[in-house]
Chain A
Amino acid sequence: MASIRHLTALIVLVGAAGAAQGQSASIAATATVVTPITVTGTAPLAFGNVFQGVNRTIAFSDATSGRFSLTGYLGSQVALTFTLPTTLASGANTMPINTYDVRVNGTNVTAGATALTVISGTPVNSNFVAGNLFVFVGGRVVPAAAQAAGAYTGSIVLAAAYTGL
């Protein structure tokens, strides 16, 4: 008797349609935020007694020149923005202050200080070569011939910010 063969093909594909196996790796993103800038006003610009009609200049190197000190990250650049009054005031009276002589040094001495070309409100760059910066501010007042007697004051402001360099 003839026989009929039944052939069965069973194909099993294992894993062929399975989810792809992923691989991963990670790296770090790093940054170091450096020490912040500190700005300290250490001495006022003191013209002392002045006389009607006689201009008075205090040199940057004078003992009564204005002083600021800054600390910041070694070697970084700093933008210095001075706000300089154009007059000192005594009540309703004003006395012009029309010249400034601003210098900077990496150490707290006037010898060897570098002149800064300063325009009020405009940043000027300097550098924390040694992590410190000392600023010396001289100036000149111009009392009028009829300048009212009295104590005159004004405010010199120094703002400092890193430039990122």
Chain B
Amino acid sequence: MRIARLAALAAILSVPALAHGQSANVSATATVVTPLVVTGNANLAFGNVFQGVNKTVPFSDATSGRFSITGFGTSQVAMTFTLPTNLINGANNLPIDSWDIRSNTTNVTAGATAMTVTSGVPVNGNLAVGNLFLFVGGRVLPAVAQLAGSYTGSIVLAAAYTGL
């Protein structure tokens, strides 16, 4: 009788050890969202400028610079502008000393939001509806003896997802 009880107890204790192995699976999934596309749509064109007379093109001007960014809706994007400090004509420089950069989710300047931009420093924006439009104004400072001619510079916008 005692042996039978011990045997029964051993049987109960051994149940988990003797159970057949069980398994379950879960998936690891990821969706890589649509990549960012950055497009330069229009140059920042100051047109004719005069010696000794500063010229400003507002962000809302017809000749302001334009970029557009498309990407995944609602995602955050880090934008890094590389802004020239001079426009160049051969060995001659024409200073460009201030910028007015605004963003909007639609391609209109009305209601665009000012961005605090420092050349080379990322600033975040949001692709609320999958698009972002950037408007770039600025000011050039021709010297009194500024050499006549055509001056150019390059404005670069790099964009990357932040993951947010």
What residues make up the interface of A, taking CB atoms closer than 8 Å to B? 2-5, 7, 9, 11, 13, 15-16, 20-37, 73, 76, 161-164
Contact = CB atoms under 8 A, between A and B. Distances in A.
Please indicate which of the listed interface residues B54, B65, B84, B138 has the most CB atoms of chain A within 10 Å of its own CB.
Answer: B65
Given A21-B35, A32-B46, 18 more contacts: A2-B18, A5-B21, A21-B160, A23-B38, A23-B160, A26-B154, A27-B41, A29-B138, A29-B154, A29-B155, A31-B45, A32-B48, A32-B150, A33-B94, A33-B149, A35-B148, A161-B51, A163-B50
Contacts of A9: 25
Interface in B79-105: 84, 87, 89, 94, 96
Contact of B159 (A15, A22, A26, A164): A22
B127 interface: no
Interface residues of B, number: 62
Contacts of B162: 20
Chain A interface main SS type: loop
B23 A31 contact: no
Contacts of B69: 23
A20 B36 CA distance: 10
B163 A29 contact: no
A94 B138 CA distance: 53
Chain B interface main SS type: strand
Interface of B: 18, 20-21, 23, 25, 28, 30, 32, 35-55, 65-67, 69, 84, 87, 89, 94, 96, 136, 138, 140, 142, 144-163
A23 B159 contact: yes
A30 B150 contact: yes
Contacts of A13: 28, 30
A33 B151 CA distance: 8
A28 B154 contact: yes
Contact of B52 (A27, A29, A161): A161
Contact of B43 (A5, A28, A33, A35): A28
Given A24-B38, A164-B55, A7 B21 contact: yes
Contact of A163 (B41, B48, B53, B94): B53
Contact of B66 (A7, A27, A35, A36): A27
A16 B53 CA distance: 53
B152 A22 contact: no
B157 A36 contact: no
